[in-house]
């Protein structure tokens, strides 16, 4: 029953997290298109602006579902403080902390729409630039803490989302930035994109990233509930349902099988020197 409950919370967290990222990407991309004045004449401005706000709201909803599912998941057993305080978790503190920061920034950007009449358009526009920082932080959180980064479909979602935002942002810089700053701005954007891509391929997509992301403290299973800190040399345990978890399960079965063989060898040794020479070295 506990395995079924864990599978439900784990899958819910994964699906909601990915949907939240997709919706955030769509909101940022639409915001860039609106700033470029790319609109269909058949769609009034209030429709496109309303769609932009509702995409952000949907991103908040799925982020909340993602957060709740992670909180209820028995694999990590987060304490309430760990869910709301950035960088306070026992499991992947940096990457989970970035996700908490991204959630707060997401709510702040959405709320800025409602205080716009009070702060004025100029300050609202400046505040809205936080959307770019939000997208970067949310992307780092998803790639660094997500268990699906190394899958083909997970990598495709992140690559498509980042690629779309980078292309639209490059277009925006080309239009808005003065000619003397245009080339340097595009060069910085290209360099940052390359660094992100290289980091993703060389670290999060490689085996053993779980231990690296968790500061060498093992897999972080239920440490908040038990109060026991895992040993630094603890073997990495992948979440159930992944290929790595299935591989670990088969490995445990093989270890049990070898232990049974060793036990049989020990019993054979008690029957005489000839049995030891004939069976013991054959099994080795």
Tell me the pLDDT tens digit for each residue of 80-135: 999 999 999 998 999 999 999 999 999 999 998 888 889 888 888 888 899 999 99
Cα–Cα distance list, 48 to 34, 54, 66, 142, 242 (Å): 8, 10, 27, 27, 40
**pLDDT value, residue 224:** 39
What tens digit of pLDDT does each residue of 165-204 get?
999 999 999 999 999 999 999 999 999 999 999 999 999 9
Helix (H, G, I), strand (E, B) or coil at 40: coil
**pLDDT value, residue 234:** 39
Cα–Cα distance list, 47 to 22, 23, 41, 60, 132 (Å): 20, 17, 11, 20, 23
Cα–Cα distance list, 224 to 77, 90, 228 (Å): 6, 7, 8
* 222 against 27, higher pLDDT: 27
What tens digit of pLDDT does each residue of 231-247 get?
433 344 455 555 554 44
Task: Give CA–CA dist 171/251, Å, rounded.
Answer: 51
Domain ranges of the chain: 2-225, 242-283
**pLDDT value, residue 141:** 97
85 neighbors 99 (Cβ within 8 angstroms)? no
Q: Cα 81 vs. chain centroid, distance in angstroms?
A: 20
What tens digit of pLDDT does each residue of 36-46 get?
888 767 666 66
Stretch 242-266: mean pLDDT: 48
User: How many CA within 13 A on the CB side of residue 67?
Assistant: 23
91: tokens are 């499991």
Determine which of 184-188, 256-260, 270-274 has the lowest per-residue pLDDT on average. 270-274
What tens digit of pLDDT does each residue of 24-80 get?
999 999 999 988 888 767 666 666 788 888 999 999 999 999 999 999 999 888 999
Q: At residue 277, does pLDDT exceed 80?
A: no
Specify the DSSP class assigned to residue 43.
Answer: S
220 neighbors 76 (Cβ within 8 angstroms)? yes
Cα–Cα distance list, 124 to 106, 128, 217, 246 (Å): 15, 6, 43, 50
Determine which of 94-98, 115-119, 214-218, 266-270 has the lowest per-residue pLDDT on average. 266-270
Task: Give CA–CA dist 32/171, Å, rounded.
Answer: 9
Helix axes 130-145, 152-176, angle to 10 degrees: 160
Long-range contacts of 238-246 (CB under 8 A, 24+ apart): 238/147, 238/210, 239/10, 239/75, 239/147, 240/3, 240/6, 240/7, 240/10, 241/7, 241/10, 241/11, 242/147, 244/207
Against a cut of 0.85, is the pTM above it? no
Stretch 134-148: mean pLDDT: 95
**pLDDT value, residue 204:** 95
Q: At residue 221, does pLDDT exceed 70?
A: no
């Amino acid at each position: 029953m506990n395995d079924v409950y864990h599978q439900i919370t784990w899958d819910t967290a994964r699906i909601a997290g990915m949907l939240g990222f997709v919706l955030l990407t769509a909101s940022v991309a639409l915001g860039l298109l609106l700033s470029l004045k790319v609109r269909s004449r058949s769609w009034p401005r209030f429709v496109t602006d309303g769609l932009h706000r509702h995409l952000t709201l949907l991103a908040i909803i799925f982020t909340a579902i993602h957060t709740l599912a992670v909180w209820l998941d028995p694999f990590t057993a987060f304490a309430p403080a760990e869910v709301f305080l950035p960088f306070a978790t026992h499991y992947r503190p940096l990457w989970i902390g970035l996700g908490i920061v991204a959630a707060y920034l997401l709510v702040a950007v959405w709320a800025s729409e409602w205080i716009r009449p009070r702060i004025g358009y100029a300050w609202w526009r400046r505040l809205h630039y936080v959307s770019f920082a939000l997208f970067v932080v949310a992307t780092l959180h998803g790639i660094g803490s997500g268990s699906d980064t190394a899958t083909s479909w997970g990598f495709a979602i992140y690559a498509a989302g980042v690629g779309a935002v980078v292309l639209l942002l490059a277009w925006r810089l080309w239009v808005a930035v003065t000619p003397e700053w245009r080339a340097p701005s595009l060069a910085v954007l290209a360099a940052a994109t390359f660094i992100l891509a290289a980091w993703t391929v060389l670290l999060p997509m490689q085996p053993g990233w779980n231990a690296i992301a968790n500061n060498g403290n093992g897999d972080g299973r239920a440490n908040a509930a038990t109060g026991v800190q895992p040993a630094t040399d603890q073997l990495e345990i992948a979440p159930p349902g992944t290929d790595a978890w299935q591989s670990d399960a088969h490995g445990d079965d093989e270890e049990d099988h070898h232990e049974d063989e060793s036990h049989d060898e020990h019993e054979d040794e008690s029957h005489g020197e000839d049995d030891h020479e004939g069976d013991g070295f054959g099994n080795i």
